[in-house]
Amino acid sequence: MLPIFMVLTSALTLTSVQATTQLRQYSATIEQSTWQLSTNTPLECQLRHDIPRFGQALFRSVASKSLNMAFELQMLRLPDNYALAEVISVPPAWRAGEPSKAIATMQLLKQFNGELPKKAAWTLLTELEQGFSPSFYFNDWYSPDNKIVAFINPVQFSATFTAFNQCIAGLLPYSFEDIAFTVLNYETGSDQLSRESSRRLAQIAEYLKYDSDIDYVEIQGYSDSYGGRWMNEQLSIKRAEKVKSFFVKAGLSADKVQVTGFGERRHIAPNQIAIERKKNRRVVLQLSKP
């Protein structure tokens, strides 16, 4: 780690702070520096670092169709008004002579933690991996003549970052929003799902293993118009009830699953040709969370 006077000199130079400005520093010492993989599931990965007397640095990636990353600077004392923080990467002592690097500008909103989007968050991780100390400089909203700097210490980062990357690699490639509204289709005249819908239901089953917060499921069954109206209504109910059984077996209470069979009512496509009738043979799932 850089000696404090070297860090502060670099910070003051980069941010054009006058020599008379008071600078309050918050950072973990080498002995205090810890990194924690605080959440490690197929739905979410969280990497945390304590900044003593200031708060925490949090990196977060969640299950999604695309790779994502977010950073949050969690502060014990939240901003009291709008401000901007300069995000600067300070080099380690063993890279003497290398200049600090400006990474981003972070908005500080009243009574909110600071946040950075995907690109800047990944940049912070890359800097930490190389032994740099990302730092956040901003004016104290209670004492405008004072400037605050909070450092993220890269000591002990490497091993936990490896585990964090392994967690990210294991995230599900879909989120709750991707499955919250789902349409399942069926083979003609049966309660047998199409191959594509079977895969979709398997995805939902995998998701339910890790998310216990599903509060309610509404299941609506439909049919095409081939066959008698009463038979079609019963078939639509049978399809919906079979899907309800799936959710109950997955651990959801039966009273949280509502089933309705509409039969051949509410068509979404004509029934003259097979490819259109397939769209009408469906069960619509709507999942909700508190």
* Strands (DSSP E) found in the chain: 22-26, 35-40, 44-51, 55-62, 70-75, 83-90, 101-108, 114-116, 133-139, 146-151, 181-185, 216-221, 257-261, 282-288
219-255: pLDDT as tens digits: 999 887 877 888 888 988 999 999 999 889 888 889 9
Task: Evaluate if pTM is beyond 0.85.
Answer: no
Measure the CA–CA gap between 197 and 178, rounded to whole angstroms. Answer: 14
- Each domain of the chain, given as residue ranges in start order, spans 4-169, 176-288
Helix (H, G, I), strand (E, B) or coil at 119: helix
For the residues 39-55, what does the mean pLDDT come to? Answer: 97
135-145: pLDDT as tens digits: 999 998 888 78
CATH of domain 4-169: 2.60.40.2540
CATH of domain 176-288: 3.30.1330.60
Closest CA to 103 of 125, 78, 81: 125
Please tell me the predicted confidence (pLDDT) of residue 4. Answer: 40
Residue 8 φ/ψ region, left for φ over 0, alpha for ψ in the -120 to 50 degree band, beta for the rest:
alpha
